[in-house]
Structure 1
Amino acid sequence: MTQITFKQEPVTLLGEQVKEGQEAPDFTVLDNSTAEVTLSTYEGQKKLISVVPSIDTGVCDQQTRKFNEEASQEDGVVLTISADLPFAQKRWCASNGLDNVITLSDHKDLSFGKNYGVVMEGLRLLARSVFVLDKNDKVIYTEIVSEGTDFPDFEKALEAYRSI
Protein backbone atom coordinates (compact mmCIF):
# COMPACT_ATOMS: atom_id res chain seq x y z
CA MET A 1 0.00 0.00 0.00
CA THR A 2 1.20 3.44 -0.89
CA GLN A 3 1.03 6.47 1.35
CA ILE A 4 0.35 10.01 0.11
CA THR A 5 -0.95 13.12 1.83
CA PHE A 6 -4.22 14.90 1.18
CA LYS A 7 -4.47 18.38 2.68
CA GLN A 8 -1.20 17.52 4.48
CA GLU A 9 -2.79 14.50 6.24
CA PRO A 10 -1.44 10.98 5.56
CA VAL A 11 -3.70 8.77 3.44
CA THR A 12 -3.24 5.17 2.37
CA LEU A 13 -4.06 4.22 -1.22
CA LEU A 14 -5.93 0.97 -1.74
CA GLY A 15 -5.35 -1.47 -4.57
CA GLU A 16 -2.40 -2.53 -6.68
CA GLN A 17 -0.75 0.39 -8.41
CA VAL A 18 -0.09 0.06 -12.10
CA LYS A 19 3.45 0.38 -13.35
CA GLU A 20 4.95 1.62 -16.57
CA GLY A 21 5.41 -1.19 -19.07
CA GLN A 22 2.49 -3.33 -17.91
CA GLU A 23 -0.81 -3.83 -19.68
CA ALA A 24 -3.43 -1.45 -18.34
CA PRO A 25 -6.08 -3.11 -16.18
CA ASP A 26 -9.68 -2.94 -17.35
CA PHE A 27 -12.26 -0.90 -15.47
CA THR A 28 -15.95 -0.05 -15.57
CA VAL A 29 -17.05 3.54 -14.98
CA LEU A 30 -20.12 5.59 -15.89
CA ASP A 31 -20.41 8.33 -18.48
CA ASN A 32 -22.55 11.44 -17.94
CA SER A 33 -25.69 9.57 -18.99
CA THR A 34 -24.88 6.73 -16.51
CA ALA A 35 -24.02 4.29 -19.30
CA GLU A 36 -21.16 1.90 -18.51
CA VAL A 37 -17.80 2.61 -20.11
CA THR A 38 -14.79 0.28 -20.05
CA LEU A 39 -11.20 0.51 -21.23
CA SER A 40 -12.21 -1.27 -24.44
CA THR A 41 -14.61 1.61 -25.24
CA TYR A 42 -11.49 3.48 -26.37
CA GLU A 43 -9.80 0.50 -28.05
CA GLY A 44 -7.13 1.42 -30.57
CA GLN A 45 -6.66 4.97 -29.26
CA LYS A 46 -3.90 6.36 -27.11
CA LYS A 47 -5.26 7.61 -23.82
CA LEU A 48 -4.33 10.27 -21.28
CA ILE A 49 -6.26 9.44 -18.11
CA SER A 50 -6.42 12.38 -15.73
CA VAL A 51 -7.65 11.34 -12.29
CA VAL A 52 -9.01 13.97 -9.90
CA PRO A 53 -10.50 13.80 -6.38
CA SER A 54 -13.47 16.06 -7.29
CA ILE A 55 -14.20 18.02 -10.46
CA ASP A 56 -15.77 20.77 -8.31
CA THR A 57 -12.48 21.97 -6.81
CA GLY A 58 -10.13 24.58 -8.23
CA VAL A 59 -7.10 22.33 -8.73
CA CYS A 60 -9.19 19.57 -10.33
CA ASP A 61 -10.93 22.10 -12.58
CA GLN A 62 -7.58 23.50 -13.74
CA GLN A 63 -6.07 20.03 -14.24
CA THR A 64 -9.04 18.97 -16.39
CA ARG A 65 -8.89 22.13 -18.49
CA LYS A 66 -5.10 22.01 -18.96
CA PHE A 67 -4.97 18.41 -20.16
CA ASN A 68 -7.94 18.88 -22.47
CA GLU A 69 -6.54 22.09 -23.98
CA GLU A 70 -2.99 20.78 -24.39
CA ALA A 71 -3.77 17.27 -25.61
CA SER A 72 -6.83 17.92 -27.75
CA GLN A 73 -4.69 18.45 -30.87
CA GLU A 74 -3.31 14.94 -30.54
CA ASP A 75 -4.78 11.82 -32.14
CA GLY A 76 -6.12 10.16 -29.02
CA VAL A 77 -8.52 10.64 -26.14
CA VAL A 78 -8.30 12.49 -22.82
CA LEU A 79 -10.41 10.99 -20.04
CA THR A 80 -11.03 12.66 -16.68
CA ILE A 81 -12.05 10.19 -14.00
CA SER A 82 -13.29 10.99 -10.49
CA ALA A 83 -15.66 9.51 -7.92
CA ASP A 84 -18.08 12.40 -8.48
CA LEU A 85 -21.62 11.50 -9.49
CA PRO A 86 -22.17 11.49 -13.28
CA PHE A 87 -24.77 14.24 -12.80
CA ALA A 88 -22.24 16.53 -11.07
CA GLN A 89 -19.74 15.91 -13.86
CA LYS A 90 -22.36 16.69 -16.51
CA ARG A 91 -23.35 19.89 -14.68
CA TRP A 92 -19.68 20.95 -14.41
CA CYS A 93 -19.14 20.44 -18.15
CA ALA A 94 -22.32 22.36 -19.02
CA SER A 95 -21.68 25.25 -16.65
CA ASN A 96 -18.15 25.63 -18.02
CA GLY A 97 -19.21 25.37 -21.67
CA LEU A 98 -16.99 22.34 -22.27
CA ASP A 99 -18.63 20.06 -24.79
CA ASN A 100 -15.64 17.90 -25.71
CA VAL A 101 -14.37 17.03 -22.24
CA ILE A 102 -14.90 13.36 -21.40
CA THR A 103 -15.66 12.98 -17.69
CA LEU A 104 -16.25 9.53 -16.27
CA SER A 105 -17.56 8.58 -12.84
CA ASP A 106 -16.01 5.85 -10.70
CA HIS A 107 -18.65 6.44 -8.03
CA LYS A 108 -20.58 3.19 -8.52
CA ASP A 109 -17.99 0.65 -7.37
CA LEU A 110 -14.56 2.34 -7.57
CA SER A 111 -13.55 -0.12 -10.29
CA PHE A 112 -10.95 2.22 -11.81
CA GLY A 113 -9.59 3.33 -8.45
CA LYS A 114 -9.17 -0.20 -7.13
CA ASN A 115 -7.64 -1.55 -10.36
CA TYR A 116 -5.16 1.35 -10.63
CA GLY A 117 -4.38 1.62 -6.90
CA VAL A 118 -5.64 5.17 -6.38
CA VAL A 119 -8.57 4.89 -3.92
CA MET A 120 -7.91 7.06 -0.87
CA GLU A 121 -8.80 4.89 2.12
CA GLY A 122 -11.60 6.31 4.25
CA LEU A 123 -12.43 9.14 1.83
CA ARG A 124 -14.03 7.30 -1.11
CA LEU A 125 -12.14 9.66 -3.41
CA LEU A 126 -9.51 8.97 -6.06
CA ALA A 127 -5.97 10.25 -5.61
CA ARG A 128 -4.79 12.86 -8.08
CA SER A 129 -2.89 10.93 -10.74
CA VAL A 130 -2.17 10.62 -14.45
CA PHE A 131 -1.84 7.52 -16.63
CA VAL A 132 -0.82 7.49 -20.28
CA LEU A 133 -1.65 4.39 -22.32
CA ASP A 134 -0.60 3.61 -25.87
CA LYS A 135 -3.00 2.33 -28.55
CA ASN A 136 -2.50 -1.24 -27.29
CA ASP A 137 -3.28 -0.26 -23.68
CA LYS A 138 0.31 -0.55 -22.50
CA VAL A 139 1.03 1.84 -19.64
CA ILE A 140 3.79 4.21 -20.73
CA TYR A 141 3.56 6.84 -17.99
CA THR A 142 2.21 7.03 -14.45
CA GLU A 143 2.20 9.69 -11.77
CA ILE A 144 0.46 9.59 -8.43
CA VAL A 145 0.79 13.06 -6.93
CA SER A 146 2.31 12.78 -3.45
CA GLU A 147 0.21 15.67 -2.03
CA GLY A 148 -3.34 15.41 -3.30
CA THR A 149 -3.90 19.16 -3.49
CA ASP A 150 -0.86 19.74 -5.76
CA PHE A 151 -0.85 19.68 -9.55
CA PRO A 152 0.60 16.74 -11.49
CA ASP A 153 3.64 17.28 -13.70
CA PHE A 154 1.76 18.46 -16.78
CA GLU A 155 4.82 18.65 -19.02
CA LYS A 156 6.05 15.11 -18.32
CA ALA A 157 2.57 13.64 -18.82
CA LEU A 158 2.01 15.58 -22.05
CA GLU A 159 5.46 14.68 -23.32
CA ALA A 160 4.70 10.98 -22.77
CA TYR A 161 1.29 11.37 -24.47
CA ARG A 162 2.75 13.17 -27.47
CA SER A 163 5.58 10.65 -27.84
CA ILE A 164 3.25 7.82 -28.88
Structure 2
Amino acid sequence: MKVKFKGNDVELKGKQFAVNETIPDFTVTDPNMNSLSFKDTTGVRILLAVPSIDTSVCDLEVATFNDKVKDLPNITCYTISMDLPFAQARWCAAKGIENVKIYSDYKDRSFADVSGTYIKELGLLTRAAFVIDSGNRIVYADYMEEVSSQPNFDQVLEAAKNAK
Protein backbone atom coordinates (compact mmCIF):
# COMPACT_ATOMS: atom_id res chain seq x y z
CA MET A 1 0.00 0.00 0.00
CA LYS A 2 1.22 3.50 -0.77
CA VAL A 3 0.69 6.55 1.40
CA LYS A 4 2.13 10.03 1.16
CA PHE A 5 4.78 11.58 3.36
CA LYS A 6 5.03 15.34 2.78
CA GLY A 7 3.31 14.79 -0.57
CA ASN A 8 5.67 12.06 -1.76
CA ASP A 9 4.65 8.43 -2.23
CA VAL A 10 6.07 5.98 0.28
CA GLU A 11 5.44 2.24 0.51
CA LEU A 12 4.01 0.44 3.52
CA LYS A 13 5.56 -2.98 4.08
CA GLY A 14 3.27 -5.94 4.77
CA LYS A 15 -0.44 -6.61 4.86
CA GLN A 16 -2.67 -3.93 6.32
CA PHE A 17 -5.33 -4.68 8.93
CA ALA A 18 -8.91 -4.98 7.73
CA VAL A 19 -12.18 -4.71 9.65
CA ASN A 20 -13.50 -8.06 10.96
CA GLU A 21 -10.07 -9.71 10.98
CA THR A 22 -8.66 -11.04 14.23
CA ILE A 23 -5.63 -9.08 15.31
CA PRO A 24 -2.48 -11.19 15.48
CA ASP A 25 -0.24 -11.05 18.53
CA PHE A 26 2.73 -8.69 18.61
CA THR A 27 5.20 -7.48 21.23
CA VAL A 28 6.20 -3.88 21.98
CA THR A 29 8.32 -2.18 24.65
CA ASP A 30 7.12 0.32 27.27
CA PRO A 31 9.08 3.39 28.41
CA ASN A 32 10.58 1.33 31.28
CA MET A 33 11.97 -1.25 28.82
CA ASN A 34 9.34 -3.88 29.72
CA SER A 35 7.80 -5.98 26.96
CA LEU A 36 4.07 -6.14 26.35
CA SER A 37 2.52 -8.94 24.34
CA PHE A 38 -0.79 -7.85 22.82
CA LYS A 39 -2.35 -11.20 23.75
CA ASP A 40 -1.99 -10.12 27.38
CA THR A 41 -4.25 -7.08 26.88
CA THR A 42 -8.02 -7.24 27.28
CA GLY A 43 -11.16 -5.25 26.62
CA VAL A 44 -11.79 -2.66 23.96
CA ARG A 45 -8.55 -1.12 22.74
CA ILE A 46 -7.62 1.80 20.54
CA LEU A 47 -4.26 1.39 18.81
CA LEU A 48 -2.63 4.47 17.35
CA ALA A 49 0.38 4.09 15.08
CA VAL A 50 2.41 7.29 14.79
CA PRO A 51 5.75 8.16 13.15
CA SER A 52 7.20 9.94 16.21
CA ILE A 53 5.45 11.22 19.32
CA ASP A 54 7.88 14.14 19.45
CA THR A 55 6.46 15.93 16.41
CA SER A 56 3.66 18.50 16.40
CA VAL A 57 1.10 16.33 14.59
CA CYS A 58 1.74 13.26 16.76
CA ASP A 59 1.88 15.42 19.89
CA LEU A 60 -1.57 16.84 19.11
CA GLU A 61 -3.00 13.40 18.31
CA VAL A 62 -1.78 11.75 21.51
CA ALA A 63 -2.75 14.77 23.66
CA THR A 64 -6.25 14.75 22.12
CA PHE A 65 -6.76 11.05 22.80
CA ASN A 66 -5.25 11.45 26.29
CA ASP A 67 -7.96 14.01 27.04
CA LYS A 68 -10.84 12.17 25.37
CA VAL A 69 -10.28 8.67 26.80
CA LYS A 70 -10.04 9.83 30.41
CA ASP A 71 -13.85 9.64 30.60
CA LEU A 72 -14.00 6.20 28.94
CA PRO A 73 -12.88 3.79 31.69
CA ASN A 74 -13.66 0.65 29.67
CA ILE A 75 -11.43 1.61 26.75
CA THR A 76 -7.62 1.44 26.76
CA CYS A 77 -5.70 3.57 24.29
CA TYR A 78 -2.20 2.59 23.14
CA THR A 79 0.14 4.66 21.00
CA ILE A 80 2.95 2.85 19.21
CA SER A 81 5.91 4.45 17.48
CA MET A 82 9.50 3.64 16.62
CA ASP A 83 10.75 6.19 19.15
CA LEU A 84 13.16 4.83 21.72
CA PRO A 85 11.51 4.06 25.08
CA PHE A 86 13.74 6.62 26.85
CA ALA A 87 12.52 9.41 24.57
CA GLN A 88 8.93 8.27 25.04
CA ALA A 89 9.32 8.40 28.83
CA ARG A 90 10.71 11.96 28.68
CA TRP A 91 7.98 13.11 26.31
CA CYS A 92 5.15 11.58 28.39
CA ALA A 93 6.51 13.17 31.58
CA ALA A 94 6.85 16.58 29.92
CA LYS A 95 3.34 16.43 28.43
CA GLY A 96 1.51 14.88 31.41
CA ILE A 97 0.27 11.88 29.43
CA GLU A 98 -1.63 9.64 31.84
CA ASN A 99 -4.54 8.12 29.91
CA VAL A 100 -2.73 6.79 26.83
CA LYS A 101 -0.20 3.98 27.12
CA ILE A 102 2.90 4.61 25.03
CA TYR A 103 4.92 1.75 23.50
CA SER A 104 7.89 1.43 21.18
CA ASP A 105 8.27 -0.97 18.27
CA TYR A 106 11.97 -0.11 17.85
CA LYS A 107 13.35 -3.48 18.91
CA ASP A 108 11.63 -6.12 16.77
CA ARG A 109 9.21 -4.18 14.53
CA SER A 110 6.68 -6.75 15.66
CA PHE A 111 3.68 -4.40 15.46
CA ALA A 112 4.89 -2.90 12.19
CA ASP A 113 5.19 -6.36 10.65
CA VAL A 114 1.71 -7.59 11.62
CA SER A 115 -0.11 -4.31 10.91
CA GLY A 116 1.46 -3.22 7.63
CA THR A 117 2.36 0.17 9.11
CA TYR A 118 6.12 0.18 8.42
CA ILE A 119 7.33 2.84 5.97
CA LYS A 120 10.29 1.17 4.28
CA GLU A 121 11.91 4.37 3.05
CA LEU A 122 11.85 6.09 6.45
CA GLY A 123 12.12 3.31 9.02
CA LEU A 124 9.07 4.76 10.77
CA LEU A 125 5.45 3.78 11.29
CA THR A 126 2.78 5.45 9.25
CA ARG A 127 -0.12 7.18 10.97
CA ALA A 128 -3.02 4.79 11.47
CA ALA A 129 -5.82 4.18 13.96
CA PHE A 130 -7.43 0.88 14.92
CA VAL A 131 -10.14 -0.21 17.31
CA ILE A 132 -10.04 -3.76 18.63
CA ASP A 133 -13.00 -5.32 20.45
CA SER A 134 -12.75 -7.58 23.49
CA GLY A 135 -12.71 -10.64 21.21
CA ASN A 136 -9.56 -9.32 19.44
CA ARG A 137 -11.54 -8.48 16.30
CA ILE A 138 -10.66 -5.32 14.39
CA VAL A 139 -13.79 -3.15 14.27
CA TYR A 140 -12.15 -0.01 12.87
CA ALA A 141 -9.05 0.42 10.71
CA ASP A 142 -7.85 3.62 9.08
CA TYR A 143 -4.48 4.29 7.44
CA MET A 144 -4.06 8.00 6.79
CA GLU A 145 -3.48 8.75 3.10
CA GLU A 146 -1.03 11.49 4.13
CA VAL A 147 1.17 10.63 7.11
CA SER A 148 0.88 14.17 8.48
CA SER A 149 -2.96 14.01 8.59
CA GLN A 150 -4.81 13.45 11.85
CA PRO A 151 -7.18 10.51 12.26
CA ASN A 152 -10.89 11.24 12.57
CA PHE A 153 -11.03 11.44 16.37
CA ASP A 154 -14.83 11.23 16.52
CA GLN A 155 -14.98 8.12 14.30
CA VAL A 156 -12.29 6.34 16.30
CA LEU A 157 -13.96 7.13 19.62
CA GLU A 158 -17.43 6.21 18.35
CA ALA A 159 -16.14 2.86 17.07
CA ALA A 160 -14.52 2.22 20.46
CA LYS A 161 -17.68 3.16 22.36
CA ASN A 162 -19.74 0.80 20.18
CA ALA A 163 -17.29 -2.12 20.42
CA LYS A 164 -18.05 -4.93 22.81
Counterpart amino acid of 1:73?
D
List aligned pairs for 1:12-161, cutoff 5 A: 12-43=11-42, 45-74=43-72, 75-161=74-160
Q: Residue deviations 1:12-55, cap 9 Å, x none? A: 00011110001011111001111110112212x11001111000
Q: Measure, in 1, the Cα distance between the counterparts of 2:124 and 2:136.
A: 24
Maintained 8 Å contact 1:28/1:112: yes
Alignment gaps of 5+ in structure 1: none
Aligned partner of residue 158 in structure 2, secondary structure:
helix
Percent pairwise identity? 37
What's the C-alpha RMSD, in Å, of the aligned pairs? 1.0
Counterpart amino acid of 2:64?
K
Compute the displacement of 1:101 (Å). 2.9
- The normalised TM-score by structure 1 is 0.95
Counterpart amino acid of 1:71?
V
- The normalised TM-score by structure 2 is 0.95
Counterpart amino acid of 1:72?
K
Divergent runs of 4+, >3 A: none
Maintained 8 Å contact 1:11/1:121: yes
Compute the displacement of 1:154 (Å). 1.1
